[in-house]
Structure 1
Amino acid sequence: MDLNPGQLDALVAIAEHGSFEAAARELHITPSAVSQRVRALEAIAGQVLVSRGAPCRPTPHGERLVRLGRQTRLLYDEASEALGAVTTVELPVAVNADSLTTWFRDVLATAAGWDGTAIRLQVDDQAYSQQLLRSGDVLAAVTSDPEAVQGCSVEPLGALRYVPAAAAAFAG
């Protein structure tokens, strides 16, 4: 399968913005050009990749290519940075609110010192973060599920202990 990066970019933009028109604005091309790129990608894949509704959504096969498109974009950005081009690599990460308010702050403080890198957080319950990985919405996630999503690896980070607490008037 010979995939064109421009076609993958169009598919990713549709997934991120929900319409061909918004994807066209993001890519600075016409909606017709977005449509042509998606049709060409669907011809290569041999199946429908976008459910054309309101909003437009990638099909399950389209979601795989959205993930590939995001990963490809990340690799291109890293290569451009290594070659000296000025760019910011955006890393979309899913994290749960409890982790964000406790230990993940240290991660963000460290990441703030990384030149050319921006962390885009999507805050969601850890039970749903694997779905964000599967759909390609994020490239990394804090999750409670020990099973890796295809194309990903699991790195145990530790455990978060919850301590029950209540106001004296409520507990009494």
Structure 2
Amino acid sequence: MPTPEDYGAPINSDDVNDFIHMVEQAFSPIEAWYRGETEVDDVVALVQDQFDAYEKAAAPYRDLLKRTYVWKDEMDAAARRTRVSGDPKNDTADKTFDRIAYSQIQFAVFRANYCVQQIITSAHKATQAFEGLIKHVPQLLEQGEDLRSVPWTELTLLKKSRRGVGPFRYQK
């Protein structure tokens, strides 16, 4: 019987972990400066350099997502070919195999979609944080504020990322 791995999804949870690690590395020099562990002459240049490094490191993941979307379309077509309707009690051996293959394909697509969603969510948050830093840090420096006294969520402008208050399911 085929398993989800047999369908050759171009993405898996290792890719998600690698992407999250890459995002953490992109932010680590900025966070080290923010915590006071390192001193930096030009904070704006540090933020811009780290954003450029993040964009460069994220390029292969964009290609990976494109390949995953193409693969998903192929798998959806394969699932349509193996879809079986009717009562499972009346199945022949071929229909039973097709029914199992269909469910395995759907599971493989589900796992790939989950990985894609995790990477897109992480990328969205990272991009929002970088854009907030790029926009907000020069403004605060002009005002003469101590950047380390500003909460991180305000510094990155991430405080506006959720609509409303309370559990996520109630935020329509």
Q: What's the TM-score once normalised by structure 1's chain length?
A: 0.26
Greater RCO (Cα-Cα under 8 Å, separation 6 or more): 2
- When Rg is computed on C-alpha atoms for both structures, the one with the higher figure is 2
Q: What's the TM-score once normalised by structure 2's chain length?
A: 0.26
Structure in which a larger fraction of residues adopt strand: 1
